Amino acid sequence: MNGGCIVGAGIDLVENARIREMLDKWGTRFRDKVFLPEEQAYCESKACPCDHYAGRFAVKEAVSKAFGTGMGPSIGWLDIEVVRNTVTGAPSVRLSEKGRTMADSMEISEVLVSLSHTRTHTVAHALLVSNGKPCSAERSPP
């Protein structure tokens, strides 16, 4: 983090059953609208894919809240990719070019995320780190 300061936070709680319903109802259409190929490949490799889809869904929502925009025209599902460290298993976020442009305009240097599952729910948390303006600077989405 190198002296950066936290300039945004977001959290999201997802019912795993809700994601299961969406997957059952919409299948590939839902998967392709919300999740990038590597995210899908990871989830599908797990015994209970919907729990892991729920995790990625929650991270995306949490990141959009941290940006202060929510999910919408400024940043969408496919602009936020949950990437997994293949050694530790720790999640991180890769932004699309559009997401990166928005982050740059807000002087966000890093997006930190964490997630946790139970059998029924998944929670994710996101923090935005800035190395730009002083910590006291008020920020608003572009």
Name the site residues for ligand COA (rule: CB under 6 A).
52, 55, 84, 88-91, 114-117
Residue with smaller CB distance to ligand COA, 36 or 102 = 36
Residue with smaller CB distance to ligand COA, 58 or 103 = 58
Minimal distance, residue 97 CB to ligand COA, in Å: 24
Minimal distance, residue 84 CB to ligand COA, in Å: 6
Residue with smaller CB distance to ligand COA, 73 or 89 = 89
Long-range contacts of 134-141 (CB under 8 A, 24+ apart): 134/5, 135/5, 135/6, 135/7, 137/7, 139/7, 139/8, 139/68, 139/106, 140/68, 141/67, 141/68, 141/69, 141/74, 141/102, 141/106
Residue with smaller CB distance to ligand COA, 109 or 114 = 114
Long-range contacts of 97-103 (CB under 8 A, 24+ apart): 99/75, 102/67, 102/69, 102/74, 102/75, 102/141, 102/142, 103/67, 103/128
